[in-house]
Structure 1
Amino acid sequence: MVSFGERLRGERERMGLTQTQFGDLAGVTKKTQMLYENGERSPKADYLTAISGAGADIEYVLTGNRSVRGSIGSSEVSRLEDGATLVDTLAGSGQLAAVKMYDIEAAAGDGRSLEQEEVESTLYFPTDQLAAQGLDPAQVVGIKVRGDSMDGTLADGDWVLVDRSRREPKPEGVFLLLVHGERRIKRVQRVAGGAWLLISDNEHYQPEMIKPEDMKDVEILGRCEIRIGRVS
């Protein structure tokens, strides 16, 4: 199956542009364009809108289906209603899922739901690709990682997609948690007696024991499923 990055590269080559020239269309560097094409980073909606305005076939890049506009040799231009972008149109059709991205450090915590927090940005993902990962787009949010406690798994500044439907009572894995009113990303391990260990993958941090009588102070907000971050 041809990936998003491969389709993006193919569309750039169809237009006869270098990575530098293509990146300039949307105000990104050659390095960023390279990361998009290698599948190491996902572009934001403003990038997709910009290259669409420059003539790229965004429907093909996102779904693999050629639009009339993007067909080689065609002089026809697809029309969108009342200034809507192609991203808006595809999102409305269900082909793209809008995932709200939150900064875990900026979030106030204190029991507030994420919906009450300020959205830092919105990223769009093909719905079928999320479904292939077993994710319901309606249950997915993005969280920006802060600090170095999860180094080795998640780095400071990474984004992670969190499946809010995964709130199992016997968790094992990396979860977004509300602990004493503070949102944290930790690896959860169950131990004898019904207690949990909240583990930081950075060995410089000690695990935190949550005893059964203290479970009332801990809430699972979702399981961390997909990391989006820089390649070091």
Structure 2
Amino acid sequence: MNRKEIGERLRIAREECMYSRQKAANYADVGTTTLQQWETGSREASIETIGKLAREYGVSPQYIIFGDSDSGVSSTPRTDYAIDKPDDDYVYVPAYDVEVSAGAGAVCLGESEASKYLAFRKHWLTARGLNVKSLAAMFTKGDSMTPTIPESAVVVINRDQTKPLDGKVYVIRIEDRHYVKRIQWLIGGGLRLISDNKFYDPLDITKADMEATNIEICGQVIHASYDLPD
């Protein structure tokens, strides 16, 4: 790894998210002189520190270290950033503090405003024909969709895709709870919500239930990201 190139990318990422050197140094719990040495390449930051700063700046650690990242996604609290900056290689998908149940159900924590944004490469969205303004991210809880989606994953949904297709995975809101499940249409117009973890039984919703109950298809799950276990 080239320390000067890594330092230059650290500096550029910091300046692009409009962090002062003092603010970034405070976040990394170091002095401004140390941060300056990292950015000039005269001193090497640890991998852990690079990862911490990269996530704060809204870029992937792979970008800082290697100069490129085709699929990396990183969370960032930069809620002041536009969702799509014309001079940026990234687009920013809003993430909501809504626990999407992958188990027995989780009460919605509120979804009126995004709590943070997730950064994705523009060409990744373009290759898949996705519109960033139609995307939203939520956080899973429970293990009923393992191994497809593990617990504590981030799922991104396409809110344009709200008409269920057999075999696809969706986020469904039932009253004040959100679920991530695989969908199967039932004879008569109902839906079967299927867990990929065979320990959990399917949940059938009749057409009458759908008409009488506050049920909403929030969108199709098009991406999931998660940390590998230690």
TM-score, scaled relative to structure 1 = 0.61
Verify: 1:101 aligned to 2:95, yes or no: yes
Q: How has the CA–CA distance of structure 1 residues 193 and 105 changed in structure 2, closer, same or farther, with 3 Å as cutoff? A: same
Q: Which runs of 5+ in 1 are unaligned?
A: 1-8, 50-86
Residues in 2 aligned to 1:89 and 1:181: alpha-carbon distance in whole angstroms: 29
| 1:172/1:190 contact within 8 Å kept | no
Q: Which amino acid aligns with 2:210?
A: M
Structure with more of its chain in helix, by fraction: 1
Q: Is the 8 A contact 2:71 2:121 kept in 1?
A: no
Paired residues of 1:158 and 1:229 also in contact (CA < 8 A): yes
Deviation at 1:187, TM superposition (A): 0.7
Does structure 1 retain, via aligned residues, the 8 Å contact 2:164–2:183? no
Displacement of 1:102 in angstroms is: 1.7
CA drift at 1:176: 0.6
Kindly, what percent of the aligned residue pairs are identical?
24
Counterpart in the other structure of 1:225: 222
Which residue of 2 is the match for residue 92 of structure 1?
85
Give the match for residue 25 of structure 2.
none
8 Å CA contact 2:72, 2:120 repeated in 1: no
Whether the aligned pair in 1 keeps the contact of 2:195 and 2:202 (CA below 8 Å) is yes
Give 2:73's aligned residue: 42
After superposition, the CA RMSD in angstroms is 3.9
Deviations 1:107-166 (A, max 9, x none): 8649x7x3x1x4332122233321211211000011111111111111111111110000
Q: Does 1:27 align with 2:21?
A: no
SS for the counterpart of 2:74 is coil
Q: Does structure 2 conserve the Cα–Cα contact (< 8 Å) formed by 1:98 and 1:122?
A: yes
Q: C-alpha distance in 2, partners of 1:177/1:19?
A: 46
Does 2:37 correspond to 1:12?
no
Change (3 A) 1:187 1:89: closer
For the Cα contact (< 8 Å) 1:152–1:202, is it kept in 2?
A: yes
Equivalent in the alignment of 2:179: 184
Q: Cα gap change, 1:17/1:108 in structure 2, threshold over 3 Å: closer, same or farther?
A: farther
Deviations 1:41-93 (A, max 9, x none): 523347xx9xxxxxxxxxxxxxxxxxxxxxxxxxxxxxxxxxxxxx9589432
2 CA distance for matches of 1:102 and 1:89?
16
Alpha-carbon distance in structure 1 between the residues aligned to 2:70 and 2:140: 20
Q: Distance in 1 between matches of 2:76 and 2:8?
A: 21
3-state SS of paired residue (1:132): helix
Q: Which residue number corresponds to residue 115 of structure 2?
A: 120
Q: Which amino acid aligns with 1:175?
A: Y
Deviates more, 1:184-193 or 1:137-146: 184-193
One-letter code aligned to 1:105: E
Query: CA separation in 2, counterparts of 1:215 and 1:90?
Result: 34
**Could you tell me whether the CA contact under 8 Å between 2:71 and 2:120 is conserved in 1?**
no
Spell out the pairing of 1:187-198 with structure 2 (5 A cutoff): 187-198=182-193
More off after superposition, 173-182 vs 20-29 = 20-29
Task: Label 1:88 to 1:19 Cα distance change in 2 as closer, same or farther (>3 A).
Answer: farther
Residue 199 (structure 1) aligned to one of 194, 198, 203: 194
> Number of aligned pairs?
179
Q: Is the 8 A contact 1:23 1:33 kept in 2?
A: no
| 2:161 is the alignment partner of 1:166 | yes
The alpha-carbon deviation at position 178 of structure 1 amounts to 0.9
Offset of residue 190 of structure 1: 1.2
Distance 1:132 1:204 in 2: 36
Q: Tell me the secondary structure at the aligned position of residue 143 of structure 2.
A: coil
| Alpha-carbon separation, structure 1, partners of 2:120 and 2:182 | 26
